[in-house]
Structure 1
Amino acid sequence: MAEIDSKFISIEGIARRYPKREGGVTTIFENLWLQVPRGEFVCIIGHSGCGKTSVLNILAGLETPSDGAVIVDGQAISGPSLDRAVIFQGHALLPWRTVLGNVAYAVSSRWRKAGKAEVDERSRRFIELVGLKGSELKKPAELSGGMRQRVGIARALSIEPKILLMDEPFSALDALTRGTLQDEVRRICTATGQTVVMITHDVDEAIYLADKIVLMTNGPEAMVAEVVANPLPKDRVRDSIHRHEDYYVVRNHLVDFLVSRSRTFRDEKPAGYDPRRPPIVKLGSAAQAAEMANTIPFPATASARD
């Protein structure tokens, strides 16, 4: 079971190529491999043009890879599925439906034989979960941008997907609303054990939300350079996260990658780099302690030599 869970999402050698008008092809990325265990929150970071959204669309079944395959829970993705819910940058709500109507539409699509009472009960439960109780009968035009995104989150979660896919869902919101929704998403996903793959350009957002952060090099011909394991505690809190001893260790590593190494990595790959097994980088005090524990002090080494 542990082996199956470790490969809950298995991206296996996928590529995305587009034909050029003048002939030939542009390769956005190629031979991309990544595994996401069940219940993990993974953020993908990289500059525009590296193919982050294409990876997400392939996971959603909205695009077909030029090569390779994606396996989810033992089955290859062949198209869209209600097992995979997507939250886009825009709310993508049906403007003629109420909050309840938008969520109920998703619920009734998932459980086609459910009666109206059951659909309403389930829809209202998820509307309340995202803090919109009392707004069930409002239409999208009557809601703020943050409230519309909450409806989108409720709609996605209401179908109880195996995977939640998020494409920069908070990027168009003001800082205060964005922080509030990040808190809500983190609370819900931590409580439910939801498996999440999210795209973001925001380093601090990734550090706050993710269990692992996937670093992609610049495109075209982008690749996964490494996967950074987030050393911050699972119960981290926004108000104090920046005071944790490992916070700036991780942040500086991510910023350094985006500023410089994302451009040079492809031509200066470390010895032994294998795209099929991108290195998992462990940073911070816990990693240092583990390294020290596996190191024999010099006097002991000298004594053994003598």
Structure 2
Amino acid sequence: MNAMPGMGGAARIVSIEGIARRFPGLTVFQDLWFHVDRGEFVCLVGHSGCGKTTILNILAGLDVPDEGGVLVDGREISGPSLDRAVIFQGHALMPWLSALENVAFAVSCRNPGWDKARVRDAARAALARVGLTQAAERKPAQLSGGMKQRVGIARALAVEPKLLLMDEPFSALDALTRGTLQEEVSRLVTEAGQTAFMITHDVDEAILLADRILLMTNGPEARVAEVVQNTLPRPRARANLHHMPGYHPLRDHIMDFLITRSRTLAGKPPEGWDSRRPPVVVPAEA
């Protein structure tokens, strides 16, 4: 497998190298190249049908590309791993276990040599980080939607993964809960120095969370058309995001892509297009 041009150094933890996913009569995406650096938060944005969830599943080891390869920390992935934790759209909790037991199960899988007390202490600490100390003994049926997702976040972070993968984890929540959890995830990921990759339809969510935003053209034969550098300073809060200098040029650029260019750039790329180096734009500096 050929390395991505410019690749090298300990900073790069994920390298997507020329992957494609095809089904009979349909190429969802092809010749897809991008990377994620250590400690970086990257969001992938695009319309339904461009293959966002398929890309995340490939990164999680739940699907395989038809071409190309995926390197995580310098090694080609060959299936699921606790080095790559996933937070799904649904909470994906085991309903017969309490919140504490759901997190403890993940901790014990990561640390099979730990005794039961140490595992439970680590699980309690993880729940405390997401504000669920008082709900530790409740089962999922006794938790609200937002609390279930908090358990899922605690479980994912408790295994200390090299890469945190998020599949629109807040899309089913009400607006108030969604905003609160977005800010909590931003804080937790920053505090832990966690590398994160997230797919989303929510432009403001991407602006709030991401260091870089990958914009995909419409499918079929989708590709990453632009890499948007988010220069808005951290910490960012949903309540004042729209007051930050540079917010409106950034949002307008992404919205213009989704409304117009994602469609006009779809299919055959422009002449001279280098899929390994999609354009990097910094609209906040425009």
TM-score range, shorter chain: over 0.9
Give the structure 1 partner of residue 22 of structure 2: 17
- Counting aligned pairs with the same residue, the percent is 61
Distance between the aligned counterparts of 2:221 and 2:268, measured in 1?
14
Distance between the aligned counterparts of 1:271 and 1:255, measured in 2?
24
Establish whether residue 121 from structure 1 lines up as the match of residue 121 from structure 2: yes
Establish whether residue 32 from structure 1 lines up as the match of residue 32 from structure 2: yes
Distance between the aligned counterparts of 1:247 and 1:103, measured in 2?
37
Distance between the aligned counterparts of 2:72 and 2:280, measured in 1?
21
Distance between the aligned counterparts of 1:95 and 1:267, measured in 2?
43
The one-letter code sitting in structure 2 at the alignment partner of 1:78 is S
SS for the counterpart of 2:97 is coil
SS for the counterpart of 1:134 is helix
Distance between the aligned counterparts of 2:9 and 2:85, measured in 1?
21
The one-letter code sitting in structure 2 at the alignment partner of 1:276 is R
Give the structure 2 partner of residue 51 of structure 1: 51
Distance between the aligned counterparts of 2:129 and 2:200, measured in 1?
24
Establish whether residue 99 from structure 1 lines up as the match of residue 99 from structure 2: yes
Displacement of 1:146 = 0.3
Give the structure 2 partner of residue 262 of structure 1: 262
Distance between the aligned counterparts of 2:113 and 2:219, measured in 1?
46
Distance between the aligned counterparts of 2:21 and 2:270, measured in 1?
24
Extract structure 1 runs of 4+ deviating beyond 6 A. none
User: Is contact 1:217–1:224 with CA below 8 Å preserved after alignment?
Assistant: yes
Displacement of 1:267 = 5.8
Unaligned runs of 5+ in 1: 20-24, 289-306
User: Is contact 1:6–1:35 with CA below 8 Å preserved after alignment?
Assistant: no
Give the structure 2 partner of residue 61 of structure 1: 61
Give the structure 2 partner of residue 156 of structure 1: 156
Distance between the aligned counterparts of 2:115 and 2:157, measured in 1?
19
- Give CA-to-partner distance per residue, 1:89-125, whole Å, 9 cap, x none: 0001000000111000101111111101110111000
Displacement of 1:278 = 1.4
Distance between the aligned counterparts of 1:6 and 1:77, measured in 2?
18
- Give CA-to-partner distance per residue, 1:38-86, whole Å, 9 cap, x none: 1110000000000000000000000010111000101001100000000
Displacement of 1:152 = 0.5
Distance between the aligned counterparts of 2:50 and 2:257, measured in 1?
14
- With 119-128 and 228-237 compared, the bigger mean Cα shift is at 228-237
Distance between the aligned counterparts of 1:7 and 1:78, measured in 2?
19
SS for the counterpart of 2:220 is coil
User: Is contact 2:221–2:267 with CA below 8 Å preserved after alignment?
Assistant: no
Q: 2:10 aligns with which of 5, 13, 21?
A: 5
SS for the counterpart of 1:102 is helix
Give the structure 1 partner of residue 220 of structure 2: 220
SS for the counterpart of 2:238 is coil
User: Is contact 1:273–1:279 with CA below 8 Å preserved after alignment?
Assistant: no
Distance between the aligned counterparts of 2:89 and 2:29, measured in 1?
22
Displacement of 1:277 = 1.2
User: Is contact 1:213–1:229 with CA below 8 Å preserved after alignment?
Assistant: yes
Give the structure 2 partner of residue 177 of structure 1: 177
SS for the counterpart of 1:240 is helix
Give the structure 2 partner of residue 296 of structure 1: none
Give the structure 2 partner of residue 146 of structure 1: 146
Q: TM-score, normalised by structure 1?
A: 0.89
- Give CA-to-partner distance per residue, 1:125-174, whole Å, 9 cap, x none: 00000110111100000000000000000011110000000000000000
User: Is contact 1:96–1:139 with CA below 8 Å preserved after alignment?
Assistant: yes
Displacement of 1:266 = 3.4
- With 264-273 and 187-196 compared, the bigger mean Cα shift is at 264-273
Give the structure 1 partner of residue 166 of structure 2: 166
Distance between the aligned counterparts of 2:259 and 2:192, measured in 1?
35
The one-letter code sitting in structure 2 at the alignment partner of 1:62 is L
Establish whether residue 83 from structure 1 lines up as the match of residue 86 from structure 2: no
Q: TM-score, normalised by structure 2?
A: 0.95
Distance between the aligned counterparts of 1:229 and 1:184, measured in 2?
22
Displacement of 1:271 = 5.8
The one-letter code sitting in structure 1 at the alignment partner of 2:15 is S
The one-letter code sitting in structure 1 at the alignment partner of 2:88 is F
User: Is contact 1:46–1:217 with CA below 8 Å preserved after alignment?
Assistant: yes
